[in-house]
Homo-oligomer: A and B are copies of this chain.
């Protein structure tokens, strides 16, 4: 099995192709890593790809040229190690019938746990309490909206693998859950979540909104100013999905006014992506926890083991080698709804 990875920059991403993972890939076949893909032409990259059985994509890899859809040469499978596809694989490759997979549910636990962590930090006001402590005071119980998840009315926007894992994690806390996701079949729908059939209905009787939807042209800015206005004073917004799902100007106006509380792992700031500009006053809002796309990451304690997404990629590469069905197969509908 001849495998290829084309890194956009001078070297491959060292988490995507970690030493442990490289050792596993060596057992499966021959891996070629081509670097500086960004300075090559489409035809040059296509020439490399056509000489290999498998193309490995993910963080730091070059976009696969569209001409591969017409002439794939020896290529039989694109294994995208990570989740996001748009920068690495095009719809035309999927429509041309090249098998493409991604990491499927590998990150679901980490992102769901990160959302839980953000939510608790906001509900218990640890940031504003910390500011009171630094100011020489002690505690904020008389001035802050201290909130237990128990009995809280939580609205969940998006119940894919991440949203459903989130539900499993918070069920023991006994919140009152409502959910909206038009794409999840009833047999996958969690029994503890009341289902509503519009985003507007989701906002009818909730204290907190948690966003686990995918970003697509359909969902962009779907959490509008009008919907945010339906949340009660001191209501909570948690977003570990994508910043573009929310009308960020409207959300920031609510946060600047102190009317809502938020835990935001992702943002939608023009020119900055998931960041705020260096002088943005929102960096100092006590009612906002900004976790900088770090929520749910794991770097400690160091463990001498593959990451979950590596295990899924290896499983798929073995399945490909053995002619078995691939997991987390990407069709054009799933591609369209994915971030």
- Cβ of A293 within 8 Å of any chain B Cβ, yes or no, is yes
Can you tell how many copies of this chain the complex includes?
2
| 18 sampled A-B residue pairs with Cβ under 8 A | A109-B150, A110-B150, A113-B120, A114-B124, A116-B120, A120-B121, A121-B126, A126-B127, A127-B130, A129-B291, A130-B130, A136-B283, A138-B275, A138-B276, A141-B292, A141-B299, A151-B303, A234-B300
Residues of B contacting A169 with CB < 8 Å? 172-173
Nearest CB of chain B from residue A61's CB, rounded to whole Å: 20
Question: Of all chain B residues, which has the CB nearest A147?
Answer: B300
- Rounded to whole Å, the gap between the CB of A300 and the closest CB of chain B is 3
Q: Which of A172-201 contact B (CB under 8 A)?
A: 172-173
A: interface residue count bin: 35 or more
Most chain B beta-carbon neighbours within 10 Å: one of A118, A145, A207, A290:
A290
A293 with B139: CB separation less than 8 A: yes
Instruction: Say how far A242's CB is from chain B's closest CB, in angstroms.
Output: 16
Whether A290 and B113, one on each chain, are in contact in the complex, defined by CB atoms closer than 8 angstroms, is no
Instruction: Add 18 more A-B contacts to A129-B291, A133-B276, A139-B293 (CB < 8 A).
Output: A109-B150, A113-B120, A113-B173, A117-B120, A117-B126, A124-B294, A126-B127, A127-B127, A127-B130, A129-B290, A130-B289, A134-B283, A136-B279, A136-B283, A138-B292, A145-B300, A146-B298, A232-B301
CB-CB under 8 A from A114, the residues of chain B are 124
Q: Which of B146, B168, B171, B294 contacts A297 (CB 8 A)?
A: B146
Smallest CB gap from A234: residue in B: B300
Contact of A148 with B113 in the complex, beta carbons under 8 Å = yes
Q: Are B140 and A294 in contact (CB under 8 A)?
A: yes
Cα distance A231–B117 in the bound complex, in angstroms? 23
